[in-house]
C-alpha cells in the first residue's frame, strides 16, 4: 500500500523541440531574485479554451520542501466564472532551455500523472524542479548572461466517451401494486395479473397463481413481480428492484404474510417472486381473513428501484442530463414543492441575445422620445419668434402710417429688417397682414404634423427680408 501511495518520481530528459504552448523568458534573473520576491506569476495564456499562468519560485517553495531549488507551478486562471462543480484534468510537462546546446530539458512526473484542477485546488507543479547550484552553473547552459527561459506543454484530458447514469431510488412514488381476485373459489385460470403500473422508469405488474405454480401447484399460493417488456432490454441492460409481497389478513393484521425479495431483472430473466408464499390450506381457512367475501388481496411494494438513462437499444439517451432535470422538476411539482432556479455564472448565449435585443429597443425608444422633445421645443421657439416678429411688424406699420410722405424711416426695434420707405403703399401693409396671419398659424399646424420644419424656416426668412 505504501508503494502504491508513494510520490511519483521526476523524469528529466532533453529534446530539440521547444515547448508547444508557452515560453517564459527572464532577463536579469539575479536582479529578480534580489527584489526579494517569493513567487512571480507570468501573464495569462490560453490552451484548450482555458487560461493558465506559470508561477515561478526563484528561491524555491519553502512550504513544499523546495528550498535550494527552483520551483515551478502551473496555475489555472479565470475560474471565477466557472460553475461550482467545475473540474479540469491535465497532464503537463515543464521545460528549461539549454542555451549553449540549444536543447530543452523536459521535466515531468513519471507515468504521465494526471492532475485534477477544481475549486479547492487551482495550482499544481514541481517544488524541486532543478537544484539552484546546478541551474546557476554556467557550463550547464540554463543561466547565460543572467538570462534563462522556461516553458510548459499542457494536455487537457477531455471525456469523449458515453456516459451512463444509474441511480437507486428508495421508496419511489406510487410504489405499491394492489391486486384483488374476486370469486376465488371459481377461479380456474393458471394465473391472474394486476394492472400495469409505472414505478421508477419501468412498468411492472403483479402475477398471482391462485393455486400455485410449478412444483408447488395445488400446494401453495405463488406470487411474482413481472417487468413489462423486460425481454426488450439490451443484452447488458438490467433493472434492479427490491420488493415486498404482502397477503393481507383483513381480520387480524398481525397474521398478514410478508415476503421480501431483491433481484436484477434482465432480458432473459424479467420475472421474480416466490413459488410458495403460503399453503393453500391456510389461505382457504375461513376462520382467517385471507379470503373475505371470496376475495383474495395481494400487494407488492417496490422498496428500491434502479433508474438508468438508456434508450431501448441500450445506448445513452441524448440530452440525458436535461431529461433527468426535467423529470426531477416534475417530481417536485407532483410533491407540491415549488422549485427555485438560481442561474450562476456567465449569461447563456440565448439570454445574452434577449438582453441585447431589449437594450436596443430601450435605446430606440429613448431616441424617439428625445426627437419628439426636440420637435416640441423647436415649435415652441418658432411660436415665440413669430410673436416677436408680429410685434415688430405692427410697430413698423404704425410708424409708416404716421410719417410724412417720402420720408425715410428706419426701424431700430428689429435688427434684421431693411430700411423701408414711406412709399410702401397700403397694398404692402395688407401683404404684411396676410404674411403675419399665415405665420401665426404655423405653430399649431406644425404640432399636427401639417408642415415640414424646413419649409417653415424658409418662410420666416422671406418674411423678415420683406
- Average pLDDT, rounded, for the chain: 81
Determine the average pLDDT of the residues in 47-60.
Answer: 93
Number of Cβ within a 10 Å radius of residue 170: 10
- pLDDT reported for residue 234: 76
pLDDT digits (tens, 9 = 90+) for 86-99: 899 999 999 999 99
DSSP state of 328: H
Q: Verify that 39 and 82 share a domain, yes or no.
A: yes
Report whether 96 contacts 69 (CB < 8 A). no
Q: Verify that 218 and 242 share a domain, yes or no.
A: yes
pLDDT digits (tens, 9 = 90+) for 32-43: 888 888 999 999
Which residue range(s) make up the domain with 96?
Answer: 2-157
Q: Verify that 396 and 311 share a domain, yes or no.
A: no
Long-range contacts of 53-62 (CB under 8 A, 24+ apart): 53/77, 54/22, 54/24, 54/150, 54/152, 55/123, 55/125, 56/24, 56/26, 56/150, 57/127, 58/29, 58/32, 58/33, 59/33, 59/132, 60/127, 60/128, 60/132, 61/127
Helix (H, G, I), strand (E, B) or coil at 25: strand
Q: Verify that 300 and 427 share a domain, yes or no.
A: no
Q: Which residue, of 111, 129, 157, is where some domain finishes?
A: 157
pLDDT tops 90 at residue 147: yes
Q: Verify that 146 and 223 share a domain, yes or no.
A: no
Report whether 339 contacts 329 (CB < 8 A). yes
Q: Verify that 197 and 220 share a domain, yes or no.
A: yes
Q: Verify that 55 and 148 share a domain, yes or no.
A: yes
Count up the domains in the chain and report the number. Answer: 3
Whether residue 264 lies inside any domain: the answer is yes
pLDDT digits (tens, 9 = 90+) for 222-245: 999 999 988 888 777 788 999 999
- pLDDT reported for residue 405: 52
Picking from 203, 213, 199, 208, the residue whose alpha carbon sits closest to that of residue 180 is 208
d(CA 425, CA 413): 21
pLDDT tops 70 at residue 312: no
Give pTM, 2 decimals.
0.40
DSSP state of 231: G
d(CA 6, CA 91): 19
pLDDT tops 60 at residue 59: yes
| Band of pLDDT at residue 441, cut at 50, 70 and 90 | low
CATH number at residue 35: 2.60.210.10
Element (H or E) spanning 297, and its range? strand 295-308
Q: Give the pairing type, strands 10-15 and 103-109.
A: antiparallel
Q: Verify that 222 and 319 share a domain, yes or no.
A: yes
pLDDT tops 80 at residue 256: yes
Long-range contacts of 455-460 (CB under 8 A, 24+ apart): 456/382, 460/382, 460/385, 460/386, 460/389
Amino acid at each position: 500500500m505504501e508503494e502504491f501511495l508513494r510520490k511519483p518520481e521526476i523524469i528529466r530528459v532533453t529534446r530539440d523541440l521547444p515547448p508547444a504552448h508557452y515560453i517564459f523568458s527572464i532577463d536579469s534573473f539575479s536582479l529578480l531574485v534580489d527584489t526579494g520576491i517569493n513567487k512571480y506569476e507570468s501573464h495569462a495564456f490560453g490552451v484548450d479554451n482555458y487560461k493558465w499562468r506559470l508561477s515561478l519560485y526563484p528561491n524555491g517553495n519553502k512550504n513544499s520542501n523546495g528550498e535550494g531549488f527552483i520551483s515551478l507551478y502551473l496555475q489555472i486562471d479565470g475560474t471565477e466564472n466557472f460553475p461550482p462543480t467545475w473540474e479540469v484534468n491535465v497532464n503537463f510537462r515543464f521545460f528549461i532551455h539549454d542555451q549553449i546546446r540549444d536543447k530543452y530539458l523536459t521535466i515531468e512526473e513519471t507515468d504521465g500523472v494526471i492532475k485534477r484542477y477544481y475549486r479547492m485546488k487551482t495550482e499544481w507543479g514541481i517544488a524541486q524542479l532543478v537544484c539552484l547550484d546546478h541551474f546557476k552553473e554556467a557550463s550547464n547552459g540554463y543561466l547565460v548572461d543572467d538570462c534563462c527561459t522556461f516553458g510548459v506543454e499542457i494536455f487537457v484530458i477531455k471525456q469523449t466517451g458515453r456516459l451512463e447514469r444509474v441511480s437507486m431510488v428508495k421508496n419511489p412514488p406510487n410504489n405499491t401494486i394492489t391486486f384483488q381476485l374476486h370469486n376465488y373459489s371459481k377461479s380456474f385460470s393458471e394465473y391472474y395479473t394486476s394492472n400495469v403500473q409505472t414505478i421508477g422508469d419501468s412498468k411492472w405488474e403483479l402475477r398471482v397463481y391462485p393455486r400455485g405454480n410449478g412444483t408447488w401447484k395445488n400446494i401453495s399460493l405463488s406470487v411474482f413481480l413481472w417487468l413489462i417488456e423486460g425481454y426488450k432490454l439490451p443484452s447488458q441492460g438490467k433493472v434492479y428492484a427490491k420488493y415486498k409481497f404482502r397477503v393481507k389478513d383483513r381480520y387480524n393484521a398481525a397474521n398478514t404474510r410478508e415476503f421480501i425479495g431483491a433481484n436484477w431483472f434482465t432480458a432473459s430473466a424479467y420475472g421474480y417472486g416466490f413459488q410458495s408464499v403460503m399453503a393453500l390450506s391456510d389461505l382457504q381457512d375461513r376462520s382467517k381473513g385471507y379470503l373475505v367475501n371470496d376475495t383474495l388481496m395481494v400487494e407488492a411494494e417496490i422498496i428500491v428501484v434502479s433508474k438508468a438513462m438508456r434508450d431501448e437499444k441500450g445506448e445513452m439517451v441524448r440530452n440525458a442530463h436535461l431529461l433527468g432535470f426535467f423529470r426531477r422538476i416534475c417530481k417536485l411539482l407532483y410533491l407540491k414543492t415549488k422549485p427555485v432556479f438560481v442561474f450562476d455564472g456567465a449569461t447563456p448565449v440565448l439570454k445574452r441575445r434577449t438582453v441585447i435585443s431589449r437594450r436596443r429597443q430601450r435605446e430606440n425608444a429613448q431616441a424617439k422620445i428625445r426627437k419628439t422633445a426636440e420637435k416640441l421645443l423647436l415649435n415652441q421657439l418658432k411660436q415665440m419668434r413669430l410673436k416677436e416678429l408680429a410685434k415688430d411688424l405692427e410697430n413698423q406699420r404704425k410708424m409708416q402710417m404716421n410719417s410724412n410722405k417720402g420720408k425715410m424711416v428706419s426701424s431700430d426695434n428689429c435688427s434684421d429688417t431693411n430700411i423701408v420707405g414711406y412709399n410702401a403703399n397700403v397694398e404692402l401693409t395688407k401683404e404684411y397682414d396676410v404674411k403675419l396671419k399665415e405665420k401665426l398659424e404655423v405653430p399649431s399646424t406644425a404640432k399636427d404634423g401639417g408642415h415640414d420644419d424646413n419649409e417653415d424656416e424658409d418662410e420666416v426668412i422671406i418674411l423678415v427680408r420683406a
